[in-house]
Structure 1
Amino acid sequence: MSSYKELLAQIEMLKQQAESQRKTEISQVVADIRAKMQEYGISLSDLGSTGRSSRSKGTTVAAKYRHPKTGDTWTGRGKMPKWLQGEVNTGKRKEDFLIA
C-alpha cells in the first residue's frame, strides 16, 4: 500500500501528464480546424465571430431607482448609492424608489 506522500506525488505527476496531453490534443484540434477552414475557404466572420468577445463593454443601463426630490438615479447595479442607503436606513424600502 502506498503512503499518503507517495499518493500525492502520483496525483501531481498525473495532473502534469493530463495537462500535457490536453495541450497536445488542443494543438492537434486547432491545426485540424485551421486546415478545414483553409480547405473550404471559411473565415471567422463565416462562423459568426469577429474575433472579439461578444460582450459589449461600457454599455449603459437604464436607471431603475430615482430619488423623488433630487432626481438622483441608480441602475440597481453595483454598490447602493448613499442617498438610497440613507433612505433605507430611515425605514423606507428600496422598492419605494423604483421608476415606474
Structure 2
Amino acid sequence: MALAGIAVTGAGMALGETYFPFALAGGCVVAALLADRSALFTAAVQPPLIALAVLGAAALFSGSLLRSASVFASVFPILAATTGGVVLIVLVRVLLNRRKTGSDAQ
C-alpha cells in the first residue's frame, strides 16, 4: 500500500506544488484504510517518509534542493495533521480487529 501512497503523492507533485499536500493526505489515508493488518505500522509512519521520498525525487530531477526544502517546510502543518489522522485510523482499525478476534474466541 505504500506504493499507492507514493504514486498518488507523486502524481500530485507532477500536477504542481498546489496539489501536493492534498495528494499526500489522500494517498496516505487511502493506504491506511486499505493496508493489511500486518502493514498497519507501515501505514502509520509513511506520511513523512513519502513526503521526503517524493520531494527528494523532485529535487533530484529538477535540480533544486532548496525549492524542495521550501515545499517541505510549507507543507509541514498538513503533513503533521495527515500523520495524526493516519495514526488515528490505524488505532481504530487495530481496536476493531481486536474486538473481532476477541469475539471469535468466545
TM-score of the superposed pair, with normalisation by structure 1: 0.33
Give the number of the structure with larger relative contact order, counting CA–CA contacts within 8 Å between residues 6 or more apart. Answer: 2
Greater share of helix residues, 1 or 2?
Answer: 2
Which structure is larger by alpha-carbon Rg, 1 or 2? 1
